[in-house]
Amino acid sequence: MTLLTSTRLTGKVAIVSGSTQGIGADIARGLVAAGARVLVLGLGAADGEAVAAPLGDAAHFVETDITDDSQIDRAIETALQAFGRLDVLVNNACTYVDAGLASTREQWARTLDVNLVSAAIFAQKAAPHMPPGGVIVNMASTGGKFGAANRALYPASKAALIQFTRNLAVTLAPAGIRAVTVSPAWTWSPSMEQLAQGSIETADRIGKPFHPLGRVGRGHEVAQAVAFLCSDEASWISGCDVPVDGGFSSLGPDQGISPRDWFSRLA
């Protein structure tokens, strides 16, 4: 993993939910590399400390269940006490449980609570503490923009998060606070590592046809995009979705290959 260091976020303070592993941990590291101080949130003290400790005084871990409003309040208060301000909120925590059409009402309620409602409540509670120039990044997904057989909960929650963020951006604009979503495509993470049996080469090979850049993404690439969006360099970007997907969303079902080529392959 290669993190580009910069000073674009020097003086900024960020909260990153779901940052004890995977892309969330990469985002926390990326924000620190860009000069921010970061509150790492998630479940599992050992995992959280493993992310925060190497970052030194620039990071602090608080074990947090984002479906509990009082724990969200505690996290915000901790950031203010530890670092003196709050400029950035990255809503990254999510659940991937998805039984598609067979999902129960309880599973629907749980997924929407974690992936959508908790992000909305965190934004509601964090925004009053953010100065003009503050930024809320909601982590969406290409899964929220395209159909996928035998899935329902995760895509629906991410699609809703994209729409909520548009509304959030307009609502918070008078306060000078921006809101965006970031939608990664296939990205190397614990879930993909499990699917690929630990081989990033396998993940790249299987993901190649769906990503014009010919591989799956790396967490640090997502992190660097988030760091840019949180900086003053992105001060005119709000209310939109930013695909960080290696070109995934530029392809249609034909994978970007013309009918002529498909017919020649299959003839």
Q: Which amino acid is at 56?
A: G
Does residue 96 have an active-site annotation? no
DSSP code, position 5: P
Whether residue 41 contacts residue 157, with contact meaning beta carbons closer than 8 Å, is answered with no
Yes or no: say if 83 and 13 are a contact pair by the CB < 8 Å rule: yes
Residues pairing with 243 in the sheet: 183
DSSP string computed for 157-204: HHHHHHHHHHHHHHHHGGGT-EEEEEEE-SB-SHHHHHHTTT-HHHHH
Q: Which candidate in 122, 154, 186, 188 is catalytic?
A: 154
Burial class (CB within 10 angstroms; exposed 0-12, middle 13-18, buried 19+) of 228: middle
Tell me which residues are annotated as active site.
154
